[in-house]
Structures are given as structure tokens and as C-alpha cells.
Amino acid sequence: MLTGQSTWTFDQQPVIISTGTVGGPFEANGNIKDDFDYLFDDLWMNQDSFEKAHKVLLEKASQTALDKAGVSKDDVQFFLGGDLINQITPTSFAARTLGIPYFGLFGACSTSMEGLALSALMINSQAANYVLTGASSHNAAVEKQFRYPTEYGAQKPPTSQWTVTGGGAALLSQKGDGPKVTSATIGKVVDQGITDPMNMGGAMAPAAVETIETHLADRGITASYYDLIITGDLAQIGRDIALGLFEKNGTKINPDSFVDCGLTIYKEGQPVLAGASGAACSAVVTYGHFLNRLKKGELEKILVVATGALLSPMTTQQKESIPCIAHAVSIEH
């Protein structure tokens, strides 16, 4: 049901019965390598283009989630997913392989929680028995679209972030064992006039703050209700800005319980500058690392807030500012 301004609360508590997470060779050297189901040792993944490799990431993550649950793709009613490439073609081509009725989503790096929120709504309303949702990104494919091909060797400022090579998928059901999706807050577009595409964290931070504050107000809770509030792609710059905005707004947030996927996935010393980003960032870190911690009993309640910058190469060239969005989903075990 609708709670407050823009939050759905799920009385049936849809269950995440399985997940699939895959990464590339850079992620295999990262901080949470043991939380991946599969790690590729080559960026090409036996394909002849990075875009085709991008497709493989989501195919592998989706099939892994199905296999772990022992569910056939023929039993899944809907597949929801998206990525950062033009017309979300890697996801659409993966959907062609899966052969599941498909909703293509574009929320940029917020796509993982956009898909999870909509999937939970479908399950909660009994519009489906099983829904599969996922998001993916590929460093070499995405970087050459939004910035420069990696072979070009362009220097990046300290505010820039590293696009994750990976894919994360979750399979939801009306019943079963696993963490439960209890609510979701749908964000609105926030634009503070930032035009620098090398400062995604700074651009997205206000959207994350707006969605988190709306979520807390809609549910009538404080941030301490959650063991962790997890943002998707703010990285170091955006996290610092968000904490400053919370303080300015009088919202009490414990910095130790306010973490970011873009600061979790890689080790100190990996050359990621401000941190990680990409549609796969929040997907693989949430569906791998944080859900594993929930299952182990280390955490009981988390709020995952995936953030997205809704720009394109064309709008950047036209000197447009960067509209941003954040969607929040609460997961409890």
C-alpha cells in the first residue's frame, strides 16, 4: 500500500529467494571478491566486442540466480532490467536469450533498486509468482560511451569514479526462504545544476538525501531503525556531501552506519579515484555482499538507496546540467 508521499509498504513481504552476481578481473582483485558467484578473468569474456561481453554479464548473473533457486525460466513471469548503454541494448539482448517477458528500465545507476522495487510491487500484488530483476555494466563499454575509450589513456580528475564490470540479479517470489523486501521509496528527479560528468557523486548526493529523508518521513522512523543505510554510487565525494546535507537539514545519521557500495567493492590502493560507480555497482554489492551479511545474521535491516545520473553523452556535449534520481528499498531478514 502507499504510505506517505511516495513509499510502498509490502504487507506480503516478497522474498528474495536467490541472487546471482558476476564480476570481471578487476573485481576479482577487490574487497568483496568472495561474495561473487562467478568472476571472469578477461574483459572480453570470449566475445568480439565489449558490448557483447556486457550482455554476457547479465545473462550469467540471471541464469545463476535461476539455477541457485532451482527455478526454470519458463516459470518466471517477468524480467526487469537495465544498463547504461544506448537503448539499454545489452539488457534487451540478454532478455532475448532468457526468453522471459521483459520490462526494460533506464534509471542509470539507480536501476538495481528501481527494478527491485517494481518487482516487489508485482509480487506483493500477486501479479506474478516469480519475477527476475537485474542490472549490469562493463567498464570498457560504458567508459568509452560516457568519457573516452580506456585505450585513449585520458587523465581523470580525483572526483571521477571507476565503472564496475559486473552483473547482479535477484529472483523474487511470494514465498520461500531469504531476505524480505518490506518497503520502497520512489525518488524524484533532483538537479542542483552540476554540469561536470566527472563528478557523479557530487551530482547524485542531493537526490540520495531527498529520497532517504522522504523514506524516513513516510514510514515515521528514524535512521537508527536500520543497521545500515547503503547508497549506491556516491563514492567518497558524494558521501561527504550527503553527510553535510543531512547535518544541514537536521537529519540524524550515524556516519558509521552510512555506507556506500562504491566505497565497498574495491580495495584501498586500486586506482578508482573517488570510488566505484556503474549500474552493476549497487547490484553486485547488494545482491552479493550485503545480502550475504543478512543471511549470516550480521545484519537484520538495511535500506539500499541506488543513485542514478540521468545524463547522456548528447546532453553533456550540449552543456546541460545533470538530473539525478535515487530509489530506496528496505530489505529485512
DSSP state of 155: -
User: pLDDT tens string for the chain (333 positions)?
Assistant: 899 999 999 999 999 999 999 999 999 999 999 999 999 999 999 999 999 999 999 999 999 999 999 999 999 999 999 999 999 999 999 999 999 999 999 999 999 999 999 999 999 999 999 999 999 999 999 987 777 677 767 788 889 999 999 999 999 999 999 999 999 999 999 999 999 988 999 999 999 999 999 999 999 999 999 999 999 999 999 999 999 999 999 999 999 999 999 999 999 999 999 999 999 999 999 999 999 999 999 999 999 999 999 999 889 889 999 999 999 999 999
Query: What is the dotted CATH code of the domain comprising 180-332?
Result: 3.40.47.40
Question: What pLDDT was estimated at residue 146?
Answer: 75
Question: What pLDDT was estimated at residue 233?
Answer: 95
68: Cα separation from own chain's centroid? 21
The answer to pTM > 0.85 is yes
CA angle 143, 325, 26 (to 5 degrees): 30
Residue extents of the structural domains in the chain: 2-173, 180-332
Closest CA to 113 of 331, 332, 295, 329: 329
Per CATH, 2-173 and 180-332 having the same topology is answered: yes
Question: What pLDDT was estimated at residue 1?
Answer: 87
Task: Kindly write down the DSSP assignment for every residue of 85-138, as one continuous string.
Answer: SGGGHHHHHHHHHHT--EEE---GGGHHHHHHHHHHHHHHTTS-SEEEEEEEE-
Does the 2-173 domain belong in CATH 3.40.50.261? no
Question: What pLDDT was estimated at residue 148?
Answer: 67
Question: What's the pLDDT tens digit per position in 221-278?
Answer: 999 999 999 999 999 999 999 999 999 999 999 999 999 999 999 999 999 999 999 9
- For residues 50-86, one letter each, b for 16 or more C-beta atoms within 10 angstroms of the residue's C-beta and e for the rest, the string is bbbbbbbbbbbbbbbbbeebebeeeebebbbbbbbbe
Question: What pLDDT was estimated at residue 157?
Answer: 83
Distance CA 68, CA 57 (A): 17
